[in-house]
Structure 1
Amino acid sequence: MKHSFGGEWTQEKLERISEYLIHYKIALKNQPFKLVYIDAFAGTGYINQKEDNFQPFLPEFAEEEVKEFIDGSTRIALQLENPFDTYIFIEKDKERVFELSKLKLEFPELADKIFPVKREANEYIQSLCEKDWLKSNRRAVMFLDPYGMQVKWETIEAIANTKAIDLWLLFPLGVAVNRLLRNDGQISPKIKQRLDDMFGTSEWQEFFFREDPQQDLFDQTPRLVKSVNLTGIAEYFNNRLNAMFEKVANNPLRLMNSRNNPLYLLCFASGNPKGAEPAVRIAQHILKEKK
């Protein structure tokens, strides 16, 4: 079974991640660290886009011009010339975890380094981050690649607190967040809670909405209207990351579909005080839009 998800924007995302992993391994090759690659929502290791049984919940996923087959982020990490010491692939779907376990057969020289984990990603990452990463001399690159709004802010906070992890994160800018921020401000309590969980605060409401200037003077109930665009949402989230991590890339990349509509925001953040400066410098170069 091959995991069907994404379009040309998916390949662009994976190319950027691959480039960073190469630079990361080169930069730390003479350091005594144990290096870990962590991939949450890891899928199956493959993405097959022609034999697509995935029914998109949004039309942006119905790409016709995408390539038939590409490697997923798990396989890209395993194909590095200089491998990591440990690979942790997190998936809660039993069938996908089974497929991930087959990577041990495909990469026998790395079999003892590959650890597929059947757990809910937020729970497992938070428990993993409770370890003393600095004391154990471990460093990691983590890729959070959810379909939508599954990543909770407390998970991001736990990652930042390790001071040892470089984080690549796919933020659901266009596919979820912007759509849920209704122009009339009428957002259900359930959706508000999901947004609170993702942003780690309810203050987003103050940034994204304002009182309607056209409101009737006789209407005693304040009426809100949306006052933010995609750029504002992206800036808000990146500022939230910046408040937690040592340093973040100031140019997160919008990933677009074939109709030039924004789907996701590819973000980078580094938590290590000593390594953040060069890490972000490399990431910002990689995130520059290609001409």
Structure 2
Amino acid sequence: MTEHEQLSILSTEELADLETEIEQATHHPVAKDLATEMREFHGWTIDKLEILRLYLRGGYVRVAGGGSYIDAFAGQGQGAFNGTTFSGSAIVAAQSEAFGRLHLIEQDQRSHRLLAQRLAELPDKLRARCELHPPGDCNQIIPTLLDAAVINSDKPCFAFLDPDSTQLAWETIEALAAYKTYTPNPVEPKKPKACKIELWILFNTHQAIYRLWADNREKYPETMGADALDHLMGGREAWWDLWESGQPSNALLRRYVERLKSLGYQYVLPQPVRDPVDGRVHYYMIHVTDHPSALGLMRWAKKQTGRIYATELPGTETF
């Protein structure tokens, strides 16, 4: 396999084999002495992390070729749900063994300390691949990483952008999108010669972003702020026309997807993440990629949760 060669869409038989491999994969234990400091996860968070695990372990590991992973909001490395401990995104990515180098970013000092302890428990081979950057803002650290060219531009890169609210700046998205160029393969369309950095972005619609919009002004007056929308969307011109014309709050999601498409990606697919109990939407995960195989692998990973995702495919949900 050459540096740019990537896997075509997997067959039904290959996906079945992947399911067996994943079920047999070893899960590393979580230290008991950190239990009192763990973040409390929600059911929809567990589903999201399971999708990430299945996606990376199930297919990405076969196409990444020792590429790079960026976790912009790496968190504590673990959390608890109904008394059970689960690994966070940084540990899930490390244990997938899909990457030659993992760049982990966390601004909160306490979470950074706990993540460092969790990383120290990994096997030497996995721990050596992880670079936990000093506590800081991902919107400052990521452009610095890209400017320093420490991300191998000849190999795949996956960026997990999972903010709690509106912390992710549009300028950071632009920097990631501009780092690598999409190059089609005229002979094999399903195997692009090169892809831009793949993104999986949490767009926090129902828990944060919609509270900034006009139709929620009376209910959430303390959270109103045009500056937050400027930061998130990329300037006043990116959303002001929607405000002035009285568009509903979900128009922000549509506009964000349009702006992602304008960055030159081949596929931009939003997917609602729902409460596994009552089906209520909490936010959207937006999959941004150039490779058609990534679409099938992400769709497969979502279906494996056996929950609400079983009947939803990326991009088919009405906003």
Partner residue, 1:191: 225
The CA distance in 2 between the partners of 1:28 and 1:106, in whole Å, is: 21
1:5 CA displacement: 4.5
1:150 CA displacement: 0.2
The CA distance in 1 between the partners of 2:211 and 2:101, in whole Å, is: 38
Match of 2:77 among 32, 45, 56: 45
1:19 CA displacement: 2.2
Partner residue, 1:140: 157
Deviations 1:190-221 (A, max 9, x none): 711110110113231212442xxxxxxxxxxx
Q: Is the 8 Å Cα contact of residues 261 and 267 (structure 2) preserved in structure 1?
A: yes
Quick one: structure 1 residues 109 and 165, their matched pair in 2 at CA, closer, same or farther if it must change by over 3 Å? Answer: same
The CA distance in 1 between the partners of 2:67 and 2:173, in whole Å, is: 20
The CA distance in 2 between the partners of 1:36 and 1:184, in whole Å, is: 40
User: 1:253 aligned to 2:271?
Assistant: yes
The CA distance in 2 between the partners of 1:16 and 1:235, in whole Å, is: 23
The SS at the match of 1:85 is strand
The CA distance in 1 between the partners of 2:147 and 2:71, in whole Å, is: 17
Normalization by structure 2: what TM-score? 0.69
1:7 CA displacement: 1.0
1:134 CA displacement: 8.0
Quick one: structure 1 residues 92 and 200, their matched pair in 2 at CA, closer, same or farther if it must change by over 3 Å? Answer: same
1:260 CA displacement: 3.7
Deviations 1:50-107 (A, max 9, x none): 5xxxxxxxxxxxxxxxx63322111211222x44211221111222222222213332
Partner residue, 2:61: 25
Within 5 A, what are the aligned runs for 1:70-149? 70-80=86-96, 82-102=97-117, 103-117=119-133, 118-132=135-149, 137-149=154-166
The CA distance in 2 between the partners of 1:126 and 1:265, in whole Å, is: 25
1:266 CA displacement: 0.5
Partner residue, 1:215: none
The SS at the match of 2:112 is helix
Quick one: structure 1 residues 236 and 115, their matched pair in 2 at CA, closer, same or farther if it must change by over 3 Å? Answer: same
Instruction: Give 1:113's aligned amino acid.
Output: R
Quick one: structure 1 residues 196 and 244, their matched pair in 2 at CA, closer, same or farther if it must change by over 3 Å? Answer: same
Partner residue, 2:9: none
The CA distance in 1 between the partners of 2:92 and 2:137, in whole Å, is: 23
Q: Which ranges in structure 1 are unaligned for 5 or more consecutive residues?
A: 51-66, 211-225
Q: Which ranges in structure 2 are unaligned for 5 or more consecutive residues?
A: 1-33, 181-195, 304-308, 312-319
The CA distance in 1 between the partners of 2:158 and 2:106, in whole Å, is: 17
1:184 CA displacement: 7.4
Within 5 A, what are the aligned runs for 1:228-243? 228-230=248-250, 232-243=251-262
Quick one: structure 1 residues 70 and 20, their matched pair in 2 at CA, closer, same or farther if it must change by over 3 Å? Answer: same
1:167 CA displacement: 0.8
1:285 CA displacement: 5.0
Q: Is the 8 Å Cα contact of residues 170 and 264 (structure 1) preserved in structure 2?
A: yes
Partner residue, 1:180: 212
Q: Is the 8 Å Cα contact of residues 213 and 224 (structure 2) preserved in structure 1?
A: no
The SS at the match of 1:92 is coil
Instruction: Give 2:60's aligned amino acid.
Output: Y
Quick one: structure 1 residues 234 and 286, their matched pair in 2 at CA, closer, same or farther if it must change by over 3 Å? Answer: farther
Q: Is the 8 Å Cα contact of residues 212 and 223 (structure 2) preserved in structure 1?
A: no
Quick one: structure 1 residues 74 and 189, their matched pair in 2 at CA, closer, same or farther if it must change by over 3 Å? Answer: closer
Normalization by structure 1: what TM-score? 0.75
Q: Is the 8 Å Cα contact of residues 64 and 98 (structure 2) preserved in structure 1?
A: no
Q: Is the 8 Å Cα contact of residues 177 and 197 (structure 2) preserved in structure 1?
A: yes
Q: Is the 8 Å Cα contact of residues 104 and 110 (structure 1) preserved in structure 2?
A: no
Match of 1:159 among 176, 199, 210: 176
Partner residue, 1:214: none
